[in-house]
Amino acid sequence: MPDLPSPHTSSFTRGDLTVHTFTAPDEFLADSTHVLETADALVVVDGQFVAPYAIAFRRFVDALDKPIRKLYLSHAHVDHWFGLSTAFPDVPVWAAEATIEELRRTGEAQRAERQAQYGPFVPDAVVMPRHVAEPGFDTVDGVDYRLDVVRDAECSAQLVLTLPGHGVTIAQDLVYSGTHVYVTRDAANTVALLRVMATSGSDVFLAGHGPVADAAEVLHNADYLVFAEQRLAHDDPAAFREALLAAYPQRRCPQLLDIFIPRLFESSTVEVNP
């Protein structure tokens, strides 16, 4: 494989918990995966996208030299589960029931399609989560987790983990930190969820793309979606893209626009990057 830009890692500690975030470079959508470390255990969230960063993430996790007690898959988008097949095939995975069902229906087709395009960047098999993450509460190595399954937001079902005793919410793709935000045709539910989340009591939000976020960034995501929805009714794909770039020049990963804009406009065409 060619030489690739380096990922970014960061960590912070709150009491008995250390949170590590591993973020791929912007060229690979700034995908973020996380490790929650306590005295005797690790909890991992998502597995990265392409093989090189998935393998590097596994090495990062293994270097902590503690057992992985649980690995949660937040949702069924390939940039979050491909890396599980590449680098975590030996680790039991928990996911929402709807996520598991979606992977059973579409996982192999998505994997095969992308492997035909991207070759060794894509895993050779689908790792199916073996455990259903039910909404409710769990405790791992003394740390309490609240599990919620959010429906019909950025995707059909997404697992959100909250650590109420530490002020941390693992939002994954409900929050895009510092990058452009994935837009869907009906974002009203996502906007409402984000505004509630920003006032939920957490002050740290682990994003699915980009660095650790605060409540202000959660609200910025909501504002972005409102702006995008207002422009959708009036613009063609090219004008819509330019409007987002002009309104948010500071946001990274413009290639995200090239992923969601064709889906928004369906039969319309828009020039996309390879």
For the chain, which domains are there?
Answer: 8-265 (3.60.15.10)
Pairing relationship of beta strands 32-37 and 17-23 according to DSSP bridges? antiparallel
How many of the other CB atoms lie within 10 Å of CB of 187?
Answer: 23
Pairing mode, strands 157-163 and 168-176: antiparallel
Residue 234's pLDDT is 82
Alpha helices in the chain (DSSP H): 51-62, 78-87, 97-118, 188-198, 215-232, 237-247, 255-265
Q: What are phi and psi of 269, to 5 degrees?
A: -120, 150
Q: Indicate the helix (H) or strand (E) that contains 97.
A: helix 97-118
Name which of 136, 179, 173, 170 is nearest 153 in CA terms.
173
Return the DSSP state at 203: -
pTM more than 0.75: yes
Alpha carbon 88 to its chain centroid, in Å, reads 17
Pairing mode, strands 143-151 and 93-95: unpaired
Segments in the chain below pLDDT 70: 1-2, 267-274
Alpha carbons within 13 A on the beta-carbon side of 27: 8
What is the β-pairing status of strands 131-132 and 136-140? unpaired
**Per-residue model confidence as pLDDT tens digits over 205-245:** 999 999 999 999 999 999 999 999 999 988 899 999 999 99
pLDDT for the residue 273: 32
Pairing assessment for the beta strands 136-140 and 93-95 based on DSSP bridges: unpaired
Closest residue by Cα to residue 76 from 51, 55, 101: 101
Structure tokens at 189: 């539910």
Please give the structure tokens belonging to residue 125.
């098999």
**Rounded-to-10 torsion of CA 171, 200, 136, 76:** -20
Residue 207 is predicted with a pLDDT of 98
